[in-house]
Structure 1
Amino acid sequence: MSDPVRITGIATGGDGVGRMTDGRTIFIPRTAPGDLVEPVEVRLHSSYAKGWAGTLSEASSDRVIPRCAHYDDDACGGCQVQHLSAAAQREAKRKVVENALRRIGGVQVEVPPVETGPEWGYRNRITITVTADGTLGFHKVGQPRVIFDLTRCEIARPSINQLLVAVRQARSVFPPRTIRITLREGRRGELGVVLWGERTPSPAEVGAFRDALERGCSAGVIPELWWRSRNDLRSKALSTDTAGIGAVAFEQVQPEFGDQIRGIALDLLGEVQGRLVWDLYAGQGEATASLVGRGARVESVERDPALVALAERQVFPLVRRLLGRVEDLIVMLSSPDAAIVNPPRAGLGAPVTKLLLRAAPERIAYVSCDPATLARDLGRLAPAYRVETVRVFDLFPQTAHVESVALLVRR
Structure 2
Amino acid sequence: MNFARVLVERARSAMGALAPREAHYAICSPLQALPYEAQVRCKEAALWRVLGRRVPVFPSAVIWGYRKKMEFALYGSESGVRLGWHARGSRGRRKVPIDGCVLASRRLNEIARQAAAALGEVGAWAGDTKALVASESKASGAVALRLVVHGGEELRWRRWQEVVGALPGVAAAQVAYTRKETPATAPERIIAGPHEVWLEERVCGVWVRYPAFGFFQNNIWQMEELLITLAEVLAREAPRQFVVWDLYAGAAPLSAALARLLEGRVRAVSALELDEALAQAARRNLRRVGVAARVVGGDIARTFLRDDDASLNTSRAVAIVDPPRSGLHSVVVRRLQEKGPALLAYVSCNPDTLARDLALLEGTYSLAALKGFDFYPNTLHLEALAVLMRRA
TM-score by length of 2: 0.80
Q: Any idea what SS the aligned residue of 2:341 has?
A: coil
Q: 2:55 aligns with which of 111, 124, 146?
A: 111
Deviations 1:160-181 (A, max 9, x none): 1111220232132376632111
Asked if the contact 1:278/1:338 (under 8 Å) is kept, the reply is yes
Q: Matched residues in 1 for 2:160 and 2:277: separation?
A: 25
The answer on 1:248 being equivalent to 2:204 is no
For the pair shown, the structure with the greater C-alpha radius of gyration is 1
> Which amino acid is the alignment partner of residue 117 of structure 2?
Q
Cα displacement (A) at 1:312: 2.0
The answer on 1:330 being equivalent to 2:304 is yes
TM-score by length of 1: 0.76
Identity of aligned residues (%): 25
The answer on 1:208 being equivalent to 2:173 is no
> Which amino acid is the alignment partner of residue 32 of structure 1?
R
Q: Matched residues in 2 for 1:269 and 1:131: separation?
A: 49
- Counterpart in 1 of 2:228? 263
Q: 1:379 aligns with which of 350, 359, 366?
A: 359
Q: Matched residues in 1 for 2:174 and 2:165: separation?
A: 15
List aligned pairs for 1:229-308, cutoff 5 A.
Answer: 229-230=177-178, 231=182, 232-234=186-188, 236=190, 238-239=193-194, 243=198, 246-270=211-235, 271=238, 273-293=240-260, 294=263, 295-308=266-279
Cα displacement (A) at 1:279: 0.7
Asked if the contact 1:89/1:398 (under 8 Å) is kept, the reply is yes
Q: 2:43 aligns with which of 93, 117, 121?
A: 93
Cα displacement (A) at 1:386: 1.3
Asked if the contact 1:122/1:254 (under 8 Å) is kept, the reply is yes
Q: Matched residues in 2 for 1:340 and 1:371: separation?
A: 17
- Counterpart in 1 of 2:204? none
The answer on 1:77 being equivalent to 2:42 is no
- Counterpart in 2 of 1:340? 320
The answer on 1:359 being equivalent to 2:335 is no
Q: Are residues 274 and 241 of structure 1, via their aligned partners in 2, closer, same or farther at CA, if it must alter by over 3 Å?
A: closer
Q: Matched residues in 1 for 2:3 and 2:318: separation?
A: 34
Per residue, is there more helix in 1 or in 2?
2
Q: Matched residues in 2 for 1:61 and 1:17: separation?
A: 10
> Which amino acid is the alignment partner of residue 160 of structure 2?
F
- Counterpart in 2 of 1:67? 21
Query: Structure 1: which 5+ residue stretches go unaligned?
Result: 1-9, 19-30, 34-59, 103-108
Q: Are residues 338 and 198 of structure 1, via their aligned partners in 2, closer, same or farther at CA, if it must alter by over 3 Å?
A: same
Q: Matched residues in 2 for 1:326 and 1:192: separation?
A: 29
Q: Are residues 147 and 264 of structure 1, via their aligned partners in 2, closer, same or farther at CA, if it must alter by over 3 Å?
A: same
- Counterpart in 1 of 2:149? 197
List aligned pairs for 1:138-177, cutoff 5 A.
Answer: 138-145=85-92, 146-172=94-120, 173=122, 177=128
Cα displacement (A) at 1:235: 6.2
The answer on 1:16 being equivalent to 2:4 is no
Q: Matched residues in 1 for 2:216 and 2:152: separation?
A: 24
Alpha-carbon RMSD across the aligned residues, in angstroms, is 2.9
